[in-house]
Amino acid sequence: MPIGLYIHIPFCETKCSYCDFNTYAGIENLLAQYIDSICKEIKLWGSVIPNANISTIFFGGGTPSYIPANLLGQILNTIKSEMDTTNCTEITIESNPNDLSKIKKLEYYLKIGINRISIGIQSFNDIHLKNIDRRHSSAEGIHAIKNAKSAGFENINIDLMFGLPNQTKYEWIQTLEVVPTIPIQHISMYCLTIEKNTPMFHQVNQGVLQMPDQDLAAEMYEIATDFMKQENFRNYEISNWAKNNKICEHNLAYWKNQQFIGIGPGAHSLLSSYRFSNIESPKKYIQKLKSSPDFEKTQNNKQTDKDKFLTIPTTENYEKQDIKTKMSDTMIMGLRLDSGINLDEFEEKFQIKIEKIFPGKIDKLISENLINKKNNQIKLSDKGKLLGNEVFINFL
Ligand code: SF4
């Protein structure tokens, strides 16, 4: 069974005011020990699952492009020596534009096998970038994308956000209008959500920043959907568009409820029907791995999967996916994709009709024009894409 591998790099040069990810500014003193710990966790997993067949690798964060590039090479070498990567087709790095000013660095990424780059552009409007505390300008964003292309990347994603403080519809269109002028194959677009306890949450509460209302944010999503269609990008997932079939294979595995291992503090995993995560604190993560012995690379067939996973000292929060949870996850994740869900395949997989598990829900959602059904395939309608959570709640 193919397994996606996520590597968490929780270092950022500064913390953006809206960000509530498990990432930190000012912990560079931990970097050397952190990389040792990441490599140790990879080795432990290589011992626990000796035949792990890695299909994709994703360096996420945080800002993986912020740390010295040779450290990413060190991590990749460890993965290659401890796990089977012969079928690994995609290695992604998340990056910030101001880390990509040198083509040599980008060429080095390609040399060590990274073949997909995701750049956190967020906006092509300098005032909005400043409002959300991004460290780069619009021009630097464009320069980073062009550098990635010049270095030889043929699979470039940019992240954009809409629903930003004080953002008008016309300013959002201006950001979208840059898209046809840059050499990218993929865009992820998300509406900014204000998380509690972030600096931006307080700025909005104090009236320093004004958020667009929900109707305007929904209109911005509709504008983006129409625009991307004209530009021949396929909206293959609610928030993701790709052209030339350059979909993100790593994320696709999440949406298809397939197996993945998360390495690093706070990273999540799904293996053999178990969901679990690592301890969140980078310091505690390092300490736990420092005091853990290496494992022998032998398979103890008497151990259950859960026992094996529990031998990794940093994992916690185990939860077994029961059959109902698997069905819910299949519905919620599957409906995010433009391929939707085939009702016959669902029945074949779970040996039960969808109607028996979620009685009346499909007909209700069709009557509310939130999903469409054709040839036993159900998909979100345009209205359903805007109101995804109202649809998903029916399958919990
Ligand atoms: S760069 Fe990304 S991960 Fe880092 S603080 Fe900003 S939004 Fe969060």
Tell me how far apart the alpha carbons of residues 15 and 32 are, in angstroms, rounded to a whole number.
Answer: 21
Question: Per-residue pLDDT for 132 more than 60?
Answer: yes
Report pLDDT digits (tens) over 178-232. 999 999 999 999 999 999 989 999 999 999 998 878 899 999 999 999 999 999 9
Residues with CB under 6 A from ligand 1: 12, 15-16, 19, 21, 23, 61-63, 96, 120
Share of the chain above pLDDT 70, in %: 98
Q: What pLDDT does residue 159 have? A: 98
pLDDT at 301: 61
Domain boundary among 255, 280, 306: 255
385 found inside a domain: yes
pLDDT value at residue 197: 87
Mutate to test the pocket of ligand 1, among 12, 28, 95 (most ligand atoms within 8 A of CB): 12
Number of domains in the chain: 2
Q: Which residue range is the domain that position 333 belongs to?
A: 323-395
Q: What's the whole-number mean pLDDT along residues 26-45?
A: 97
Asked if 149 and 119 touch (Cβ cutoff 8 Å), the reply is no
Compute, in angstroms, the gap from residue 296 CA to the centroid of ligand 1. 37
Closest CA to 340 of 259, 256, 396: 256
Instruction: Classify residue 87 by burial, with Cβ atoms within 10 Å: 0-12, 13-18, 19+.
Output: exposed
Predicted confidence (pLDDT) at residue 91 exceeds the cutoff of 80: yes
Asked if residue 284 belongs to a domain, the reply is no
Using most ligand atoms within 8 A of CB, pick from 9, 15, 135 the residue to mutate for ligand 1: 15
176 phi and psi angles, rounded to 5 deg: -60, -35
Residue with structure tokens 């809409």? 162
Please report whether residue 170 resides in a domain. yes
- Cβ contacts of 366 within 8 Å, gap of 6 or more: 372, 373
Concatenated DSSP letters for 331-343?
HHHHHHBTT-EEH
pLDDT on residue 395: 95
Q: Is the pLDDT of residue 258 over 70?
A: yes
Residues 253 and 142: their CA atoms lie apart, in Å, by: 30
The answer to whether residues 245 and 332 belong to one domain is no
State the distance from the centre of ligand 1 to the C-alpha of 15, rounded, in angstroms.
Answer: 6
User: Could you tell me which residues come within 8 angstroms of residue 197 by beta carbon, excluding any fewer than 6 positions away?
Assistant: 20
The count of other CB atoms within 10 Å of the CB of residue 145 is 24
Dist CA 226 CA 155 (whole Å):
23
In whole angstroms, how large is the CA radius of gyration of the chain? Answer: 22
CA of 11 to the centre of ligand 1 (A): 9
Whether residues 246 and 330 fall in one domain: no
> Beta strand pairing status for 156-162 and 116-122?
parallel
Q: Which of 235, 255, 275 is the last residue of a domain?
A: 255
pLDDT in the model for residue 293: 79
CATH code of the domain containing 58: 3.20.20.70
d(CA 387, CA 331) in angstroms, rounded, equals: 15
One-letter-per-residue 3-state SS of 100-116:
CCCHHHHHHHHHCCCCE
The answer to the question of residue 211 being in a domain is: yes
Pair (248, 155) in one structural domain: yes
Q: Nearest to residue 165, comparing CAs of 220, 210, 134, 133?
A: 210
Q: 44: which 2 tokens?
A: 């432990």
- Mean per-residue pLDDT of the chain: 94
Which of 225, 255, 285 delimits the end of a domain?
255
In a domain, 294, yes or no: no
Cβ-proximal residues to 315 (8 Å cutoff; 6+ apart), any chain? 269, 276, 277, 278, 309
Q: Quick check: is 205 in a domain? A: yes
Is there a single domain that holds both residue 219 and residue 331? no
Looking at residue 310, its pLDDT comes to: 83
Torsion sign over Cα 100, 103, 65, 239: positive
CATH number of the domain encompassing residue 371: 1.10.10.920
Q: Is residue 314 part of a domain?
A: no
Summarised one tens digit per residue, pLDDT across range 329-376 is 999 999 999 999 999 999 999 999 999 999 999 999 999 999 999 999
Please list the residues that pair with 276 across neighbouring strands. 269
Mean pLDDT of the 282-311 span: 80
pTM listed for this prediction: 0.95
In the chain, % of residues over pLDDT 90:
89
Sheet (strand 371-374) strand order: 341-342, 377-380, 371-374
61 and 172 in a common domain? yes
Q: Report how far ligand 1's centroid is from the alpha carbon of 22 (Å).
A: 9
> Distance from the CA of 123 to the center of ligand 1, in angstroms?
14
Is 297 part of any domain? Answer: no
C-alpha 131/C-alpha 140 separation (Å) is 17
pLDDT band at 161 (very low <50, low <70, confident <90, very high): very high
Calculate the dihedral angle through the C-alpha atoms of 224, 227, 231, 232, rounding to the nearest 10 degrees: 70
**CA nearest neighbour of 89 among 245, 214, 193:** 245
